[in-house]
Amino acid sequence: MATGEPLWWTFSVAALVGTSLGMLLALILTRQSRRAAEQQARAHHELAQREAALLAQEVRTKAEEEIRVRQAEVNREYDRREIEMEVKLREIRAHEESLALLDNQLEQRGERLARESTAIKQARDALRDLSKSLRQRLEGAAQTDAEGIKKQLREEVQLECQEELRTLRHGLLEKSEQEVQAEAKRVLLLTMQRLASKPNADISSTIVQLPSEEMKGRIIGREGRNIKSFEASTGTTLLIDESPLMVLISSFDPVRREIAKLALEGLIKDGRIHPASIEEAVTRARQEVDSHVTQLGEDAVQQLKISRLHPELIRLLGKLHFRFSYTQNVLDHSVEVAQLCSMIASEVGLDPNVAKRAGLLHDIGKAIDGEFEGSHAIIGADFLQRYGETPIVVNAVAAHHEEVKPETIYAGLVMLADTVSSVRPGARAEAMTSYIERLGRLEKLALSMEGVQQAFAISAGREVRVVVQPSLVTDEQAKELAKRLRLRIEEELQYPSTIKVTVIREQRFTETAT
């Protein structure tokens, strides 16, 4: 402190310097804290931006995944509906083919009726000419001698007794026919007792079980490439729906369906499913089925002890194992028909080997591919003729559905054995849905007849009982009603065997005594 300066001045300067230093220090601290706050704010802002970007990326990924899942579901639903439409179109085509067959049968019946009508007209004209000729002869009887008159009288007596002779002849023929029927029943009963066959209740299985739901996605593959490759390789259609742990194989060819089933089971067991492994599995399955088909045909031929049969015919017989008619296995049915033919032929003095051969081969046309036109009987006969079978066997196969005129008794033998094997108890069955629908159509058809009050389908659809209103239908009309109902059933319905029609006309009178 300088001498002579006031004390307050010294304190003032010191205070001023301290205040300046404090303000300077406060300014420095404020700038540092502001800088730190700005850095911290920038750090928080950058962190918030990164979190927002991550969140946006996560939302975008989740949205894209959801879109892919929805798109896959839509594609599966579209494929399923497309498959269903294709199956329904095939069913419609099959119905159209059956309707065409029915039209052909109706045309054949119309032609047969026209021929019979022409024959009746010719017979009527012949009788009219005969009557005219007789009248002319009688007119000239006065100019004839005694021998001529006797001759004319004899002719008149013959004409008068012609009806009685016809009745007598009919009675004799009917008696002979009854004796023949009795002998036929004896032979059939004896044959059926010798042949004890088990009931056929097999159905073609087209369902493949899956170990897990995840396997469905592997079978479909990325963008459906696995299922498309499988369907192209096997010629079948895979139906994958909401049913748990199962896949349905659809195909009108039972051999293709069996190949597809074996191939799919092999792929599921192996676990590796891609187009290359699918082709390998289908090739193995096709070789296995071909070998199995040949073995089945050879077993059937060895069981019946038939020799000199072409290998192609043996292979076709094996393919019949995969076909069913009303749940009756066609190969088992063919073997049974062959056995029946052999037994009946032995009873009536025919060659059992020829009969057995014709019976085994009668349905072989059902195993031939669909590109050949015609019924299975005609196609089968053509193939048998091509592979060197005898004319007797060829005609028996072609005529067993009466599409060709039978030329030998063996054709009738095959018809009889085929009918016995088809209609015996336990041989054939229907699905419950079609069975109920057939009974409903039968009752509805009966109720549509005029005068019918009630109709009941009984005996598993083999008989229909009709109750008529007695005030509207007489006894004669009831008899005619039964005939008309029988004709309508034959024309409008399809049924595996025969249907008995029973018309009941009952009238009750009740009085009460008090």
430-466 pLDDT, tens digit each? 555 666 788 888 899 889 988 898 999 887 778 899 9
pLDDT(470) > 80: yes
Query: DSSP states of 37-73 as a string?
Result: HHHHHHHHHHHHHHHHHHHHHHHHHHHHHHHHHHHHH
pTM: 0.48
Expressed in angstroms, the distance from the first to the final Cα of the chain is: 160
**3 CB neighbour count, 10 Å cutoff:** 4
- pLDDT tens digit sequence for 71-91: 989 988 898 888 889 888 888
β-pair partners for 500: 463
* Six-digit token string for 166: 């016809």
**What is the pLDDT, as a whole number, of residue 144?**
58
3-state secondary structure of 153: helix
Domain annotation for the chain: domains and CATH numbers = 196-304 (3.30.1370.10), 309-428 (1.10.3210.10), 432-504 (3.30.70.1350)
Over residues 485-495, mean pLDDT: 84
DSSP-derived secondary structure letter, 235: S
- pLDDT tens digit sequence for 98-113: 888 888 888 888 888 8
- pLDDT tens digit sequence for 159-169: 666 766 666 66
SS (H, E, C) 357-415: HHHHHCCHHHHCCCCCCCCHHHHHHHHHHHCCCCHHHHHHHHCCCCCCCCCCHHHHHHH
CA distance 334 to 313: 13
Q: Any idea which of 35-49, 126-140, 311-325, 447-461 has the lowest mean pLDDT?
A: 126-140
**What is the pLDDT, as a whole number, of residue 467?**
92
Q: Which of 347, 218, 197, 195 lies closest to 275 in space, CA to CA?
A: 218
Mean residue pLDDT across the chain: 81
pLDDT(391) > 80: yes
β-pair partners for 174: none
- The CA-based angle 398-401-403, given to 5 degrees, is 65
- pLDDT tens digit sequence for 233-255: 888 888 887 677 788 888 777 78
Determine what percent of the chain is predicted with pLDDT higher than 70: 82
pLDDT(176) > 60: no
pLDDT(200) > 50: no
pLDDT(6) > 70: no
3-state secondary structure of 90: helix
Question: Is-contact 255 293, C-beta < 8 A?
Answer: yes
**323 CB neighbour count, 10 Å cutoff:** 18
Question: Which of 177-186, 264-273, 495-504 holds the top average pLDDT?
Answer: 264-273
Question: Which of 12-16, 189-193, 263-267, 373-377 holds the top average pLDDT?
Answer: 263-267
- pLDDT tens digit sequence for 344-361: 888 888 898 998 999 999
Amino acid identity of residue 394, one-letter, is: V
DSSP-derived secondary structure letter, 497: S
- pLDDT tens digit sequence for 299-315: 888 888 888 888 898 88
Over residues 183-189, mean pLDDT: 59
CA distance 148 to 372: 67
Determine what percent of the chain is predicted with pLDDT higher than 90: 5
Over residues 366-379, mean pLDDT: 77
Q: Which of 250, 260, 315, 249 lies closest to 283 in space, CA to CA?
A: 260
